[in-house]
Structure 1
Amino acid sequence: MARRVAPLTDNKVKNAKPTNKEQVISDGQGLQLRILPNGTKSWRYVFKNPLTGKRSSITLGTYPSLKIANARQQATSHRELVSQGIDPKAYLHEEKIKYEAQNKHTLFNVSKEWFNLKKHDVTEDYAQDIWRSLELHVFPAIGNQSITTITAQLVINTLKIVEAKGSLETVKRLAQRLNEIMTYAANCGLIEVNPISGVKAAFKKPQKEHMKALEPHELPELMITLANASIRCSTRCLIEFQLHTMTRPNEAAGAQWSEFDLSNKIWTIPAERMKKRKEHRIPITSEVLELLKLMKKMRIDSEYVFPSTKNPKKPMHSQTANMALKRMGFGGRLVSHGLRSIASSTLNAEGHDYYLIEAALAHLVGNESHRAYNRTDYLERRRELMSWWSKHIVKASQAKSSLAAVA
């Protein structure tokens, strides 16, 4: 016959004093109060595991946060499970997993975890574009869904709304990004397999559009228009700088003075600012030096060569050049990224070395094996190429209309 234990009272629990060793006071029917030497009082339920027959215990909480009445309620619930042949510890673990799947591991939360890894592999501007697209088109509809309830049909229904607006390229990118998120979830053990791997087949393929750019023979028109445009001198300087250096809009707009070695005439863009996450060195021509000198003369206290007019502690927006080109009348004909295309088309037409041109554009040439053996960036050989291109720009602008014209 089991020994009867007098139930605890709140006063008895409250007045129990710690000693130099752990104390255990029983409330009966498996509920115990542990008192540690540091004064901590915690409730636990002790039971015989119905599956193994071994003695086991579950910590319920600490006193006074968990009162006697609530501790007894928890102990009663666990006793009922044991009487049904269920291990309460295993039951609680399964319930926790279910709860997290429904509340913690939502598509939004898992996307945040994935994005915190993804953003280190892409440029800051592209990372912002990724997250913004999910905020606009995905999270409002299914962001609070448990990752375990995301199905191909659910994603298709969500993206069909975007497709109906004619944004096929956005649909393609969203499908790709959601696939990466679901693959990440599978790799983390949150789901068994990625259920949306084939959703892109449910949508029309977007027509591939080339970046809008002028033809090489239209370069004089651009330079003359630029010279007479009603835009800030710093914006004009940025456009010419981007044209001379053949860089992408965000690479040019985000240029920092610390990246320039003027004594050796080299601009080094760090890997984290490059699309392919690979450091890019650019020979600085005499014409580019003139543009840098002009920006220095503006005496703007900023770490950036082209600081924002609103906040000099930040760079100009990567779309600043784009908006200026639109206002100059080149909307539908030229985007700032297309300045690179003018350079590429001109240099190739003039018979310059293909590998030097691709290196100047920071393109990866050849397969992975080829790149592993050929690691040169042709820096010294590119000096002549860049010099030719800068002089060609000045010549096309009839010299006087270019900020980069060397006196």
Structure 2
Amino acid sequence: MKWKNPDTGWSPVRLHLLPKLVGTPLEIIDVAMVRELIYDIREHKGVATSLSCHGWADRIFSYAIEHDYCKHNPAALIKAARVGNRNKRTRWLTTPEIKRYLTGLYQSNGYRGYKLALHLLLMLALRKAELCGAAWGEIDFEKGELLIPSGRMKTKKDHLVILQTQAIEMLQELQRLGGGSPWVMPMPTKPSRAMHSNNIDATHGAALAVGDIIDYNIHDHRHTASTHLREQGHSPEVVETALSHAIPGMAGTYSHAQYKTQRREMLQSWANLCHMIVLLPMIFLRLTTSIHFLPV
């Protein structure tokens, strides 16, 4: 069976399935073997990772059966409910992980537009579809704002996104890459239409593989931004407004306009932090190198 490059999104296979199953004929792999492996992954890596590996095993064996590599699918006989239930995710990236993720993102192979999109999702704390379905007509570069209409929002309400200096530069590069398309992220084969948000998943997987990060999906960017912003001391109401979460009581009634200035300051500081996390080690290296060669 021919495997694709694991650094383009197959990290659960590379990290957890292949080390145990590589070299084993598919016909010999039975339900007991797969179940033991999945349960072992659950014990050491958690439910989410074990469920992901179970899903990959199911898809791989289904593909193998379809192409006559084997005749049975042991993973299909193991119910996902027996592996575990996905609870509400709380995964977020620590500061060192942010550095590894962003460094890995730009070092990985792939289309630059997808890399910029993933970086923007982290900085703006948007959902995938909110960015990938955006049109240039929704963006005001002079004001530094993106207004997402209610029809594309999970909350069914218009959402004003404050664009940081770095975000504006990235969006302007995406506009050049789009070649005149009306969409921020156009479909590669048909630029007159917005691409599907899942197109960036493989690039995200490649960044995880290069950065050696596990059990982290794109939506977790929102948890990462929320956690770091709260740790920086920003008001929960301002953070929740930036994430387009419902705020109870009168605070929620006026949050759209009331927190605009605070959101701009908060999100700019977040973008600056993401930038410095990656840039600071490079500056430190240059400084120490320069000091080392200073004449005595």
Would you call these one fold, judging by a TM-score over 0.5? Answer: yes
Q: Give the counterpart letter for 1:263 in structure 2.
A: E
Q: 2:148 aligns with which of 263, 269, 290?
A: 269
Matched residue, 2:263: 382
Find the aligned partners of 1:220 and 1:331 in 2 and give their Cα distance: 11
Gaps of 5+ in 1: 1-161, 169-204, 402-407
Q: 1:297 aligns with which of 153, 170, 176?
A: 176
Q: CA deviation at 1:308?
A: 1.5
Q: Give the counterpart letter for 1:252 in structure 2.
A: L
Could you say which structure has the greater relative contact order, defined with CA pairs below 8 angstroms and 6 or more residues apart? 2
Matched residue, 1:360: 242
Q: How many residues align?
A: 204
Find the aligned partners of 1:342 and 1:400 in 2 and give their Cα distance: 21
Deviation string, structure 1 residues 4-56 (Cα, Å, up to 9, x no partner): xxxxxxxxxxxxxxxxxxxxxxxxxxxxxxxxxxxxxxxxxxxxxxxxxxxxx
Instruction: Tell me the TM-score normalized by structure 2.
Output: 0.62
Find the aligned partners of 1:167 and 1:257 in 2 and give their Cα distance: 43
Are 2:93 and 1:214 aligned?
yes
Find the aligned partners of 1:356 and 1:377 in 2 and give their Cα distance: 9
3-state SS, counterpart of residue 397 of structure 1: helix
Q: CA deviation at 1:400?
A: 10
CA contact (8 A) 2:144 2:163 kept: yes
Deviation string, structure 1 residues 277-332 (Cα, Å, up to 9, x no partner): 01100111110111012112225231111112122122222122322121331674
State how 1:7-406 maps to structure 2 within 5 Å. 165-166=79-80, 206-210=85-89, 212-328=91-207, 329=209, 332-366=214-248, 371-372=252-253, 376=257, 378-398=259-279
Kindly tell me: are residues 300 and 214 of structure 1, through their superposed partners in 2, closer, same or farther at Cα, counting changes over 3 Å?
same
Kindly tell me: are residues 374 and 360 of structure 1, through their superposed partners in 2, closer, same or farther at Cα, counting changes over 3 Å?
closer
CA contact (8 A) 1:266 1:283 kept: yes
Q: Give the counterpart letter for 1:363 in structure 2.
A: H
3-state SS, counterpart of residue 298 of structure 1: helix
Sequence identity (%): 22
Larger radius of gyration: 1
CA contact (8 A) 1:282 1:379 kept: no
Find the aligned partners of 2:179 and 2:281 in 1 and give their Cα distance: 26
Q: Give the counterpart letter for 2:172 in structure 1.
A: K
Q: CA deviation at 1:217?
A: 3.5
CA contact (8 A) 2:135 2:184 kept: yes
Q: Give the counterpart letter for 1:336 in structure 2.
A: I
Find the aligned partners of 1:271 and 1:256 in 2 and give their Cα distance: 14
Kindly tell me: are residues 166 and 288 of structure 1, through their superposed partners in 2, closer, same or farther at Cα, counting changes over 3 Å?
same
Kindly tell me: are residues 209 and 370 of structure 1, through their superposed partners in 2, closer, same or farther at Cα, counting changes over 3 Å?
closer
Kindly tell me: are residues 221 and 341 of structure 1, through their superposed partners in 2, closer, same or farther at Cα, counting changes over 3 Å?
same
Gaps of 5+ in 2: 1-75, 283-296
Is the helix fraction higher in 1 or 2? 2
Find the aligned partners of 1:400 and 1:217 in 2 and give their Cα distance: 11
Q: Give the counterpart letter for 2:167 in structure 1.
A: V
Find the aligned partners of 1:400 and 1:237 in 2 and give their Cα distance: 21
Stretch deviating more after TM superposition (312-321 or 370-379): 370-379
